[in-house]
Amino acid sequence: MSVPTIESGISIDLIDTPCLIVDMDLVDKNLNTLFSKFRERKVNVRPHLKTVKSPEFAKLLLAAGARGVCVAKVAEAEVMAEAGIEDILITTEIIGRPKLERLTRLISKHPEVKVVVDSILGVEAMQEAASNANVKLNVLIELNVGQNRAGVEPGEPALKVANEITKQGNLNFLGVQGYEGHVQLLTDESERKRLCCEAMEKLMSTVALLRENGHSIPVITTGGTGTSEYCADAGATELQPGSFIFMDGAYNRAIGNRYETALTLVSTIISKPAKNRCVIDAGFKSLSTDSGNAQLKAFPDISYRPAGDEHGILESSTESIALNIGDRVELIPSHIDTTVNLHDYYYCHRSGKIENVWRLEARGKVQ
């Protein structure tokens, strides 16, 4: 699929809707806010690309100071490796022969790709796949630090997995990954910090146990947009924030204006059936709803709700809406990762003038 030919410098008002527009001045500001903070503290940042899903944005993150990147899936890693990015951590367990074979094929060309594992079964399957393909896999243990998603339990269960990894001829043990996803979006900052510190205690005490038992742990990787500062304080060697580059409604509610809302969706009013109700061309297929509904950027009194795959409703319960058919509105997605996954292109602009159109090469790469 080719990128639409859009002359640089044209106004974003001329781009067809619904479309994702990215204010690159605000992206620059977000990159500067995050990287200057952690550069001073000498902790590495390995941003999670499950937000941007684009090699161009990945390269921007690396140029800003990222030391490697994270992805969630082997298919995403393939896209990034193809684009020339070598140091990639896949943060989800890789299970099943088709995926393991795909992984070892990728690693035979890109040996810096790293993976996580959280079970003895997983270790054995990785060893078998790596040995069959005659490659070495760089492996981290994923710990459950409280999210109760994947991850081996801290302490002795993690030690058993570490002992198993170091017995294998084709696995190279690099360290541990925690991810305190259960606290990222808590709106009470002191509670977010308290629960993150509890999670970091589980991570760091397990690191201590592994080290006491002779394991070298060069990498302790964790942290998201809502917790990275606390993870750095606790001793993480690298941080994995993703959403900070664009932000979204859920993160705005949780951490306020620490970072700028750099990405919005532009939509057109296609019908105005009542004076207090308009219909726009953005429904479930344009804006994800797993974190609630998107919000209108400039009209806080007007609510948005999806009204089908391709329709959305703007409504004011009190007054008539001062917008008409053909007008364009900007919406702030409630959850950036799942919204971005619905689109083909980013329309990147500065002060409303298009600078670049970047394809979302890794959208839909769920395998």
Contact footprint for ligand PLP (CB under 6 A): 48, 50-51, 70, 91, 179, 181, 184, 224-225, 240-243
Phi first, then psi, for residue 349 (nearest 5°) are -140, 165
> In the complex, what is the shortest distance from the CB of residue 28 to ligand PLP, in angstroms, rounded to a whole number?
18
Provide Rg for the chain, Cα atoms. Answer: 22
DSSP letter string, 136-198: -EEEEEEB-SSS-SS-BPTTHHHHHHHHHHHH-TTEEEEEEE---TTTTT-S-HHHHHHHHHH
Between 242 and 283, name the residue whose CB sits nearer to ligand PLP. 242
What is the Cα–Cα distance from 347 to 359, expressed in whole angstroms?
9
Nearest to 365 by CA among 76, 50, 71: 76
Residues in the chain: 367
Q: Which is nearer to ligand PLP, 18 or 241 (CB)?
A: 241
Cβ distance to ligand PLP smaller for residue 52 or 161: 52
Q: If DSSP codes are grouped into helix, strand and coil, which group holds residue 97?
A: helix
Least distance from C-beta 71 to ligand PLP, angstroms? 10
- CA–CA separation, 37 and 64 (whole Å): 12
If the CB atoms of residues 79 and 323 are measured against ligand PLP, the closer one turns out to be 79
Tokens 């970091």: give the residue: 200
* Least distance in angstroms from the C-beta of 189 to ligand PLP: 15
Burial of 218 (0-12, 13-18, 19+ CB in 10 A): exposed
User: Which residue, judged by CB position, is nearest to ligand PLP in the bound state?
Assistant: 224
Q: How far is the CB of 135 from ligand PLP (least distance, A)?
A: 24
Instruction: Give the nearest distance from C-beta 150 to ligand PLP in angstroms.
Output: 9
Which C-beta is closer to ligand PLP: that of 101 or that of 189? 189
Q: CB-side exposure of 38: number of CA atoms within 13 Å?
A: 30
CB of 207 to ligand PLP, least distance (A): 17
